[in-house]
Amino acid sequence: MPTLEASLVVMDVREFKTFRELIHRKTGIWLRDGKQAMLAGRLSKRLRHHGMTDFATYAAYVARAQDDGKELAEIINCVTTNKTSFFREMHHFEFLMRTLVPELMAGAALGRARSIRIWSAACSTGEEPYSIAISLLEALKTGHVPGSVAPSPGQSLSPPGGWQIEVVASDIDTVVLATAAQGIYDRESLEDVPPVMQNKYFLRGKGNMIGQVRVKKEVAQLVKFKRINLMDPRWALEGKFDAIFFRNALIYFNRETQEAFLRRMLGYLNSRGYLILGHSEHVPWLNDSVEALSNTIHQLRAQKRPPYTGPERRRRPRQ
């Protein structure tokens, strides 16, 4: 019996709803009506991998698979979108250098810890967390906008003055995390990065690596990659963060899931910490907990002291 190319197999409404519910239940991602062709195209590679010719057979296979979630992980990798670039939405990185770092430096002058922790949620292939790490280094060393100062010969890229930098970078997609951890990119990906910064923070490939660049180890060691499924009851995170980047991801979730994720993230922010979203993401329903500094940058509101509910206090009579 001749087999059809899996990419030409049609996914009917019932099959679409089966996979949509599975994906939503496991990841929180919601595929709205009209995404059948997109989902069929992305899952077609799994049909080819298993030698299957229809999605009903594949759905039955996924339902009974006892492989420690490996096939489900493959589905998630197929469905997630990973569009990103270095210093995308540059004003966010300028905010780190011109606002966040000076605030933390002022706090350190008063005796607070010399540490900066930022979480890059939905980090994709790593351009965002590396851009964050570079921005923090630039701000601590020069106080200037990235790329405005050329490195001195032999200048160390390590954080100065005993400062500790940690950028936690997470994603649900294991494939993009593997790419991110390598820190190797096509040279074209740096087209919008100033030449000074390219030379300062990246190594150019030689031999069979010509045309590629690698993030320097002093930057790479500041970033810790880990897989986090935001639907999990417990996130593999410790401590709190000065800022959380969760950019251009809300579009994949319905309103209920968006609010559940964001309110949970706020619990991981330090006092007056920052939540940074993408350019088209508006969350007015979060205004009870954050103050919008711009369309995309939100600061955790100061906690109000609860009203006093103890015994009535008597005022002392004036002498």
User: For residues 163 and 136, what is the distance between their CA atoms, to the nearest angstrom?
Assistant: 10
**Is 20 among the residues known to form the active site?**
no
User: For residues 206 and 110, what is the distance between their CA atoms, to the nearest angstrom?
Assistant: 47
Antiparallel, parallel or unpaired: β 241-245 and 269-276: parallel
User: What end-to-end distance do the CA atoms of the chain give, in Å?
Assistant: 104
Of the residues 42, 48, 88, 187, only one is catalytic, namely 42
Long-range contacts, stretch 29-36, CB < 8 angstroms, 24+ apart: 29/79, 29/80, 29/252, 29/253, 30/252, 30/253, 30/254, 30/257, 31/79, 36/11
Of the residues 117, 171, 242, 247, only one is catalytic, namely 171
| DSSP secondary structure letters along 167-201 | EEEEES-HHHHHHHHHTEEEGGGGTTS-HHHHHHH
Sheet of strand 202-204, all strands in order from the earlier edge strand to the far edge: 184-186, 212-215, 202-204
**Is 33 among the residues known to form the active site?**
no
Residue written as tokens 């019996």?
Answer: 1
Q: Hey, which residues are catalytic here?
A: 42, 171
